[in-house]
Structure 1
Amino acid sequence: MRFFVGLDVSSFDMKVCMLDQDGVAVDTFSVSNDLPGATDLKRRLLDLTADTQVNTLRIGLESTSVYSFHPSMFLHHDEDLKNLGAQVFVINPKQIANFKKSYSDMNKTDEKDAFVIADYMRFGRHTMSIVKESQYVALQQLTRSRYHLIKTITKEKQHFLQHLSYKCSTFTQEVESSVFGNAMMELFLEKFSLEEIAQLPLEELAQFLQENGKSRFPNPKEVAASIQRAVRSSYRLDQVVEDSIDVLLGTSIEVLRSLQRQVKEIDKTIKRIMAGLSQTIESIPGIGPVFTAGIIAEIGQIERFEDETKIAKYAGLYWRKHQSGRFTAEDTSLTRHGNQYLRYYLVEAANSVRRQVPEYHEYYTKKYQEVPKHQHKRALVLTARKLVRLVDALLRNHQLFMPERSVEI
């Protein structure tokens, strides 16, 4: 006998609908979304299947962030349910919403939603998304938090550059060094006025940069000279405005440094977990433990995916087709669907790999030269798509990357 259980999960409770293989409702009930409620759900499932030979028991619930996490992990790891061969699936809500459209006369209620999820499971529409094991969940929390920190840093840098353009309007055009290096940050923290910077002896400014840049400038005098050129050609502000901009620049620098420290702490924890995890894609030059963690945290067990095309689609690494009659559009946009975290780490990894692996460098260059618009973005996404095939092969076959011989893809 085959049974299919749909759970409609909220922060307060779980509506449950259990169907048999013919789509007949065996039972419907509600339990609280907490440990006692999940324990009661497990007991009732065991009671309902006690006198039946169970061939299939599939439990499905929508991916609703923290609301679905705890019940899915509880049911997945429960030994009594494992003995029944139970499988727990976490499903994309969009898939359920599209499936529900076939029930044109169905109203929106939690009980009906639980039925739709169970029926979705019964029709075998679930192709992946079995819940991930704990180590992947731990990595996912870290890598997703890192992703948001990086996005926050990018936004804060944009704010910083905006304030800098008030302080010194030609700085980014004239200065031949990174604005976000430690030496530049220290220069802005000193709150020099433009006149003070312009009047500093060139040797003194060069020494300041060299000391705070940890002697990394190949020619500090040239950088110092470019700073003074930018200062002399920039507009002047009223004192009250310049003072306020100095405060904003200093605040922004402290925010950036704080965020960067947090990223470093997360990276340390990621590397510690990765050291105890068996995987092979870190053998690809240029990926490293952080990008590796971001990729495998979202993929989870490779067996969740039928093949590499499913991984690419899950990541959203494909373009929409726009065709009407004999017309096919050449300039189409990358899909907005897919797992944004997996897409981010695959693209970042591809950007690093192309710098170290000749095959990927050549592929990126070829794709870059094929089109007149969106060259870098398109070439990089296509390189990431190529990387997916390699990642899938290494994980599925437990292979190490061997540049001198082909990998079984």
Structure 2
Amino acid sequence: MYIVGVDIGKNNHEATIIDDTGSIIGKSIKFTNSHNGGNKLIEHIKKYTRNSKVIFGLEATGHYWLSLYSFLMTKGYEINVINPIQSDSFRNLYIRKTKNDTKDSFIIAEVIRFGKFTNTKLCDDKILALRQLCRYKLSLTTEISELKCRITTVLDQIFPEYNKLFSDIWGVSSKAVLEKCQTPEGILKLSINDLTELLKTKSKGRLGFNKAEEIQNAAKNTFGIKIAKEAFKFQIKQLISQILFLEKQMKSLDSEIEFYYNQFNSHLTTIPGIGFVTAAIILSEIGDIKRFKNSSSLVAYAGIDPTVKQSGQFVSNNNKMSKRGSPYLRRALFLAASTCVLHDSPLNKYYNKKRNEGKHHLVAVGATANKLTRIVFAVMRDKRDYTPIN
């Protein structure tokens, strides 16, 4: 039997062949991430292994391994995909801690030879599609947040009083005002009646003349800078347009996510604080729950398990969260836990219990996220609605 370790790169990969004793066979080979490169790899392997069994080991480096994985699957090879953390730990066994492509591909092969690894498997089409859409949504959410921060920075310079005029400056009414008139001067050019009508329409009658008058008075007496106003106006107009466009995209994206999510018999939305989007993210990141032998394994995969520091009789009581698992799953669980603590539920009681013990808010939320993950595991394992235990 031969093992081929492959160090994954964006455009080029490097492979090293070893036998079942750990001896390197031939020289390592560098090949491109293409059909020609894949065929070059196969020819190189057959040259040394002939008709013997060949097992591949790849690192799950970003998304760059997927194309090679798919190529080797079509060729009928057995492939093991490992987490880079596992090969990093193995590298520490060597006295000379060199790091290069040849050395890395050898270490990956050695990890497979010793069999001390957890295999990462490519999920089915529906889960992969859902995961792709959910991660895209998270990236859009981050992009919108960054745009909002940039607008806030500009408003702080030209109209510092604006953020006190609305309870939420990113609400429908406030965005409508910014879209129509981006500066204090633009607001003053708008008649009080037109501004009143705009606010009434966007707020569905909640805001009216009094708010319009308050906004114009603030614009009239603003302490904002008076120079380069046209440049600031242009910038806000562009940024607002980008936000509105992305928010429109987000609505159609949510519909697409819901379409894929509804194809699974998932019960995650029965857990307090978890809506369909959060449920979709959690489901897509976990995939097949059978991959995890217990709830602690899932907690570790999410990276919300505490690190343990112990030496001799010393045991640290100031342990931090490992944060070594899926950042997407961890983010979704934290958001869900933050929502759970606002509702009357067992998780809210658990959060309050931690707070009464003197825990910081974020520590208590982290503990709640840990407990929530165990509930998620049970709901997905049993394939039934969440039922709180009295």
Q: Give the TM-score taking structure 2 as reference length.
A: 0.83
- Tell me whether 1:346 sits opposite 2:319 in the alignment: no
In structure 2, the residue matched to 1:157 is 148
How many residues are matched? Answer: 387
Match of 1:235 in 2: 223
Letter of the structure 2 residue corresponding to residue 391 of structure 1: V
Give yes or no for contact 2:17–2:45 (8 Å, CA) kept in 1. Answer: no
- Is structure 2 residue 181 aligned with structure 1 residue 191? yes
Q: Is the 8 A contact 1:6 1:118 kept in 2?
A: yes
Residue ranges of structure 1 left out of the alignment (5+ in a row)? none
Q: Quote the residue 2:12 is aligned against.
A: 12
Any conservation in 2 of the 1:19–1:119 contact (CA below 8 Å)?
no
Q: 3-state SS of the aligned residue for 2:324?
A: coil
Conserved 8 A contact 1:176-1:223: no
Distance 2:43 2:219 in 1: 74
Q: Label 1:232 to 1:382 Cα distance change in 2 as closer, same or farther (>3 A).
A: farther
Among residues 69, 72, 88, which one is paired with 1:72 in the alignment? Answer: 69
In the TM superposition, residue 194 of structure 1 has moved relative to its aligned partner by: 3.6
Q: Tell me whether 1:248 sits opposite 2:238 in the alignment.
A: no
Q: Deviations over 1:188-239 (max 9, x none)?
A: 23327647757978666433201133x0x5354554455356446531532x
Once residues 368 and 40 of structure 2 are traced to their aligned partners in structure 1, the CA distance between those partners, rounded to angstroms, is: 49
* Aligned 1:265-284 pairs, distance under 5 A: 265-284=252-271
Give me the whole-angstrom Cα distance separating, in 2, the residues matched to 1:316 and 1:333. 11
In the TM superposition, what are the counterparts of 1:126-165 in structure 2 within 5 Å? Answer: 126-165=117-156
Q: 1:181 aligns with which of 171, 176, 193?
A: 171
Secondary structure, counterpart of 1:15 in structure 2: strand
Match of 1:400 in 2: 384
Offset at residue 323 of structure 1 (A)? 7.4
Distance (whole Å) between structure 1 residues aligned to residue 345 and residue 127 of structure 2: 31
* 1:38-77 equivalences in 2 (<5 Å): 38=38, 58-76=55-73
Whichever residue aligns with residue 168 of structure 2, its letter is S
List per-residue Cα deviations over 1:360-403 (Å, max 9, x = no partner): 22222333444364x1x323222221111011112223x22233
One-letter amino acid of the counterpart of residue 71, structure 2: F
Checking the alignment, whether the CA contact within 8 Å between 1:176 and 1:226 is kept in structure 2 is no
Task: Note the C-alpha offset of 1:126.
Answer: 0.9
Structure 2: segments with no counterpart, 5+ residues: none
**Do structure 1's residue 124 and structure 2's residue 120 form an aligned pair?**
no
For 1:222 and 1:366, how far apart are their aligned partners in 2? 44
> Structure 2: how far apart are the matches of 1:127 and 1:64?
15
Tell me the equivalent position of 2:371: 386
| Cα distance change, pair 90–264 in 1 and its aligned pair in 2 (3 A) | farther
CA contact (8 A) 1:129 1:304 kept: no
Tell me the residue number matched to 1:33: 33
Of the three residues 211, 222, 227, the one matched with 2:201 is 211
**2:228 counterpart SS class:** helix
Match of 2:298 among 302, 305, 311: 311
Contact residue 166 and residue 245 of structure 1 kept, 8 A: no
d(CA) in 2 for partners of 1:164 and 1:32?
Answer: 49
Q: Deviations over 1:315-343 (max 9, x none)?
A: 2213445779868565x654453321111
Pair 211,380 (structure 1): closer, same or farther in 2 beyond 3 Å: same
* 1:117 CA drift (Å): 0.7
Q: Is the 8 A contact 2:86 2:117 kept in 1?
A: no
Structure 1 residues 88-97 or 111-120, which shifts more? Answer: 88-97
Greater shift in the superposed pair: 294-303 or 2-11: 2-11
Q: RMSD over aligned Cα, in angstroms?
A: 3.5
Question: Structure 1 residues 67 and 189, CA, compared in 2 at 3 Å: closer, same or farther?
Answer: closer
CA contact (8 A) 1:91 1:129 kept: yes
Q: What displacement does 1:307 show?
A: 2.3
Relative to structure 2, which stretch is displaced further, 223-232 or 65-74?
223-232
Shift of 1:309: 1.8
Query: Are 1:153 and 1:256, in contact at CA under 8 Å, matched by a contact in 2?
Result: yes
How much has 1:119 moved relative to structure 2?
1.0
The aligned amino acid for 1:207 is E
Change over 3 Å in CA distance of 1:19–1:231 after alignment to 2 = same
The change in CA–CA distance for 1:264 and 1:18 in structure 2 (over 3 A counts) is farther
**% same residue:** 26
- Equivalent position amino acid for 1:234 in 2: T
SS where residue 66 of structure 1 aligns?
coil
2:135 partner letter: R
SS in 2 for 1:151: helix
Does 2:102 match 1:102? no
Please say if residues 379 and 386 of structure 2, whose CA atoms lie closer than 8 Å, have aligned partners that are also in contact.
Answer: no
Choose the corresponding residue for 2:247, options 260, 269, 290.
Answer: 260
Partner of 1:23: 22
Shift of the alpha carbon at 1:149?
1.4
- Deviations 1:80-102, CA, capped at 9 Å, x for gaps: 44xxxx3x332222321231121
Shift of 1:243: 3.1
Rounded to whole Å, the distance in 2 between the matches of 1:142 and 1:222 is 43
SS at match of 1:263: helix
The CA deviation at 1:176 is 4.0
CA contact (8 A) 2:2 2:18 kept: yes
